[in-house]
Structure 1
Amino acid sequence: MSRSERSPLLLAGLLATAGAAHFARPRTFDAIVPRSLPGSPRAWTYASGVAELALAAGIALPRTRKAAALATAAFFVGVFPANVKMAVDWRHRPAPQKAAAYGRLPVQVPLVLWARGVARGSEGRS
């Protein structure tokens, strides 16, 4: 299997793992839901978990891959405020936790680019 064939499956696996984690350990995700969002943090945690699972399924299927990959890029941009909130909230935690929280911020850029690359790589395929 070539790298271009593995890339969408790896992205789908990342999304599926993250989506499942929202249900396995929701309290972790509840804590980073921005307070400005209406409703309960748990509802947002579950909604984002469902979204990640749906995006994973869409990317795994060649017929829906391009649209799902573009939606994934938008999703990664949309969850950035939660990562900012985590970095702000964790600024006084021990160095390893603080580093993890701050490290999540720049990781969003390659994730967005990866999703866009998967979309580009699926053009003309069905």
Structure 2
Amino acid sequence: MSRLSWPRHVARWLLGLALIGAGTGHLTTQRQEFQAQVPEWLPLDKDFVVLASGVVEIGLGAALIALPRQRRTVGWVAAAFFVAIFPGNISQYVTRTDAFGLNTDQARLNRLFFQPLLVLWALWSTVAWPKPRGKRD
């Protein structure tokens, strides 16, 4: 397996740390804020969803940092996670729910455009996305 270029290596670590931080928030001080993003139509207890997704985020963040040999697989799993939680962001926008300082429609709309960037960040930083042959990571 080829070595990761330093920008990708740093980006992978930053994403891992961000996920660990967000996951810790799910389990502690930001639990209610995260519950505001759980769609009403989801047939699960909001607190359970927040706690479970927090555990997943911490695990993904740790895996991004601690498992460099499995980085492609972890990158795809992280990208899938970001896609899976996107309906919560859409729900927050549609229901006009305030959380995390997103207290205007424009702020909630702007946030929707950040989620695809997280997907791309996970794929790019782990070289999970296919690249042309002969190109350096």
For normalisation by structure 1, the TM-score amounts to 0.85
Residue 15 of structure 1 pairs with residue 14 of structure 2: no
CA distance in 2: counterparts of 1:23 and 1:92, whole angstroms:
20
- Tell me which residue corresponds to 2:81: 75
Gaps of 5+ in 1: none
Alpha-carbon deviations, 1:94-122, whole Å to 9, x = none?
xx622332221000111111111123169
CA distance in 2, matches of 1:39, 1:117: 32
User: How large is the RMSD of aligned CA atoms in angstroms?
Assistant: 2.5
Among candidates 88, 96, 101, match of residue 108 of structure 2? 101
* CA shift for structure 1 position 4: 2.2
> Aligned in 2, Cα 1:2/1:117: closer, same or farther, shift over 3 Å?
same
Confirm or deny: 8 A CA contact 2:123 2:129 kept in the other structure. Answer: no
Unmatched runs of 5 consecutive residues or more in structure 2: 131-137
> Is 1:30–1:42's contact at 8 Å kept on the other side of the alignment?
yes
Q: List, as ranges, runs of 4+ consecutive aligned residues in structure 1 with deviation greater than 6 Å.
A: none
- CA distance in 1 between counterparts of 2:21 and 2:103 reads 21
Q: TM-score scaled to structure 2, two decimals?
A: 0.78
Task: For residue 92 of structure 1, report the CA deviation from its aligned partner.
Answer: 8.7
Percent of matched pairs sharing the same residue: 34
Q: Is the CA contact 1:73–1:113 (under 8 Å) kept in the aligned structure 2?
A: yes
Aligned pairs for 1:1-126 (under 5 A) are: 2-24=6-28, 25-60=30-65, 61-90=67-96, 97-98=103-104, 99-120=106-127
Q: CA distance change for structure 1 residues 57 and 91 in 2, over 3 Å: closer, same or farther?
A: closer
Residue deviations 1:63-101, cap 9 Å, x none? Answer: 2322111101001111110001111222799xx622332
Matched residues, number: 122
In 2: Cα distance, 1:69 partner to 1:111 partner:
11
* C-alpha distance in structure 2 between counterparts of 1:87 and 1:78, whole Å: 16
Q: Secondary structure at the match of 2:17?
A: helix
More helix by share: 1
**Rounded Cα–Cα distance in structure 1 between residues aligned with 2:70 and 2:97:** 40
